[in-house]
Chain A
Amino acid sequence: MYIYDAVDQRLVDERVRQFRDQTRRFLDGKLTEEEFRPLRLRNGLYIQRYAPMLRIAIPYGLLSSRQLRKLAHITRHYDRGYGHFTTRQNLQINWPRLEQVPDILAELAEVQLHSIQACGNDMRNITSDHFAGIAPDEVVNPFVWCEVVRQWGALHPEFNYLPRKFKIAVNGARADRAAVAFHDVGLHALRNEEGEIGFRVLVGGGLGRSPSMGFAIREFLPWRHLLSYLEAIFRIYNRYGRRDNIWKARIKILVKELGPEKFREAVEAEWTHLKDGSSTLIAEEIERIESRFTRPAYDRLAVQDDVPENAWAAPGFRSWTKRNVHPHKVPGYAAVTLSLKKTGVPPGDMTSDQMDAIADLADRYSFGELRVTHEQNLVLADVRSADLYEVWQVARLLGLATPNIGLLTDLISCPGGDLCSLANAKSIPVAEAIQRRFDDLDYLHDIGEIDLNISGCINACGQHHIGHIGILGVDKNGEEWYQIEIGGNQGEIHPGARPALGRVLGPSFARAEVPEVIERLIECYLARRDSEAERFIDVVHRIGIEPFKERVYVNAHQRPASGGRQLAAA
């Protein structure tokens, strides 16, 4: 965990005081709705379909057990006893009362949490690799750099009213678990031949209604220049990003309209003025921030113990370790993913009681620390191998041990039309219908790794463009339909499939047909894969989408089994 110093704490406290005053002025009629809106957004408060939604920032997904207990208390006391973990590693609560929000923020500040810039046209919460610091393939620990950038972007005097929201992701491992190519700025930390840290800087990636992949504006930006270079990018965007049309206001549109080369020239020209200025980072500052992160006190003897031999006989334990347990760079330790994707529970949802129980689990088995993944699960990052069996037993009692991490039912979904006022269609019932269709664990494991993402509208909060299978809710004459894409890929996890945006398969489907369509895509994949090691995405990238298209649309009537009903495409 990063531990606040006195200044960090003071700023968060002062922010609460400021927002309390702004809320009071709004309720007294001294601020108009139009004026209050950007102010409340900058404090995480969004108006949803039925009620306000408060988004709580969990910087780079890192959470302490103490913080999780506080979230349990807040969801219980101010909300309806549950919260929703999002694809941006945040927590959303869906039923707070406006006049109580300042109190909620004050409670968050007590445990070094906040909602600063959780919504609004500003620099949002920074996301990162949920295995940061422990992954065997890590080159640079991204958390330190996330915190450096978090501080720089927090309450920035110049960049608080950008044309549109601005999302940054930092990755520091060989595999990209942070989807850096799909952020306004993606930072890929690496080391040059001399061992110095620097960043591959990608700009203009994003999802939403005009999905695009970021382009590399710098192949190696030495770490000292990180903030001055960001300042140059932000300034060009703040000055020239479009403000006339909210749908064309993201930086990706500016990059596209100028052309990547022109954009790069503009940034470089601005940077000549800022380079080597006072924002140039110094080693002392990096060391200072590094030293404020607590590190687990690993037991060197842990390597001598392993999972007790008799544990393997327990039905279900082996498949859980196969899917939900991940390698750790310290011998004798492993990372555990607690699945929030149990069939029947909206993806990412967690009750207050579960939060308390998980906090206890983290205290007992993982140094009191947790990570939120952008796949909407929680990770205990530092579990002794010898404790895995006990952790599994507790997780199972809590309903958090579904052995499906990385598999089809570990799907990502936005809250959709059940809660969100932007949504065209519901997404949670679709998620559940798919999970029910694929409830056979052996079949699920046989299908292997696959990302399935569902968004209830074109804003793409469920990141459907980068799902190997992406489902998008669309509105046709007031009816809910679902468009399906395949071939999207969030980042290079295994050597092979490159980051990519999905391609639309064809006409969309009624909700009831979606599970059947997914089934056919899977059947097509299973028939075409050259081995069990070849994943769904690898096959799509190898053979293209046509065979899948054919399977879903053209040959629909030739299929003998499973339902037999012809798909009515609309």
Chain B
Amino acid sequence: MSTLIRDRRPAADSWQRLNRNPDGTLPALPERGPYIVPLALWVEQRAQLLERPGPLGVWLDSHEEPEAIAPDVARLDVIAVNFPKFQDGRGFSIGRLLRERFGYTGELRAIGHITRDHLYYMEGCGFNAFELRDGEDPQEALAAFNDFSEAYQASVTRPLPLFRRRG
């Protein structure tokens, strides 16, 4: 079981994630419970999903386009972005687009191959929840949010770059 950090605290996870079947087909959505569904399922069953009572979540793989859910972000409680490999950095751009361009304000969760070494950058790109890979100590990992005390660039956490914040 991976460990969740939410808003810089270890947190319990009430969400379950629905994945594609091994043969690539989409699974049926169980009747109850909060699920984070793959983007393809959302695209296919958007109308039904919007009718469904309770919270809603969608996850995007790193090659998928956040533009696909841009009109619906206000209806979503969780958007998760997959980082399939330690080095796959596409999700960083997806995070910023969801927050800065599409105005998403709910939980933005990083899933996949996540270690504490990513946390500082991911937070800068708008992520506030992180499923750490097995073996990462969440308590120790919290320190990583303070790896750097300042940043030059504009980001989600610092909408103004350093040069616009100097006295």
0 or 1 for each of B64-103: is its CB under 8 Å from A? (1 = yes):
0000000000000000000000111110111010000100
Main secondary structure of the interface of B (DSSP, over half): loop
B154–A279 CB distance below 8 A: yes
A10–B154 CB distance below 8 A: no
For the complex of A and B, the 6 pairs showing the least CB-CB separation, nearest first, are A161-B89, A157-B124, A285-B163, A157-B121, A151-B152, A158-B92
0 or 1 for each of A10-24: is its CB under 8 Å from B? (1 = yes):
110011001000100
B17 to chain A, nearest CB (A): 23
Within 8 A of A (CB), among B131-148: 135, 147-148
0 or 1 for each of B107-143: is its CB under 8 Å from A? (1 = yes):
0000000010100111111000000000100000000
Distance, CA A493 to CA B120, complexed state (A): 44
B33 at the interface (CB under 8 A from A): no
Complex partner residue of B135 from A30, A151, A157, CB under 8 angstroms: A30
B93–A158 CB distance below 8 A: yes
The residues of A that contact B11 with a CB separation of less than 8 Å are none
Given known A35-B86, A238-B92, A239-B90, contact A281–B163 (CB-CB < 8 A): yes
Complex partner residue of B93 from A35, A154, A155, A235, CB under 8 angstroms: A235
The residues of A that contact B3 with a CB separation of less than 8 Å are none
Given known A235-B93, A273-B101, A282-B163, contact A158–B125 (CB-CB < 8 A): yes
How many residues of A sit at the interface, in one of the four size bands? 35 or more
A517 at the interface (CB under 8 A from B): no
A282–B125 CB distance below 8 A: no
A160–B89 CB distance below 8 A: yes
Complex partner residue of A238 from B89, B101, B115, B124, CB under 8 angstroms: B89
A158–B163 CB distance below 8 A: no
B29 at the interface (CB under 8 A from A): no
How many residues of B sit at the interface, in one of the four size bands? 35 or more
- Total A-B residue contacts, Cβ distance less than 8 Å: 95
B90, B124, B135, B149: residue with the most chain A Cβ atoms closer than 10 Å? B90
- Which residue in chain B gives the minimum CB-CB distance to A161? B89
A297 at the interface (CB under 8 A from B): no
Within 8 A of B (CB), among A26-64: 30-31, 34-35, 38-39
Given known A34-B86, A39-B117, A121-B87, contact A157–B152 (CB-CB < 8 A): no
- Which residue in chain A gives the minimum CB-CB distance to B147? A18
Within 8 A of B (CB), among A148-207: 151-152, 154-163
0 or 1 for each of B12-35: is its CB under 8 Å from A? (1 = yes):
000000000000000000000000
B96–A158 CB distance below 8 A: yes
B148–A11 CB distance below 8 A: yes
A507 at the interface (CB under 8 A from B): no
Within 8 A of B (CB), among A45-87: none
A-B contact pairs, 29 of them (CB 8 A): A10-B149, A11-B152, A14-B148, A35-B115, A38-B86, A38-B87, A121-B87, A121-B89, A152-B152, A155-B121, A155-B151, A157-B92, A157-B121, A157-B125, A157-B153, A158-B92, A158-B93, A160-B121, A161-B87, A161-B88, A227-B161, A235-B93, A239-B94, A277-B154, A278-B164, A281-B163, A282-B163, A284-B163, A285-B163
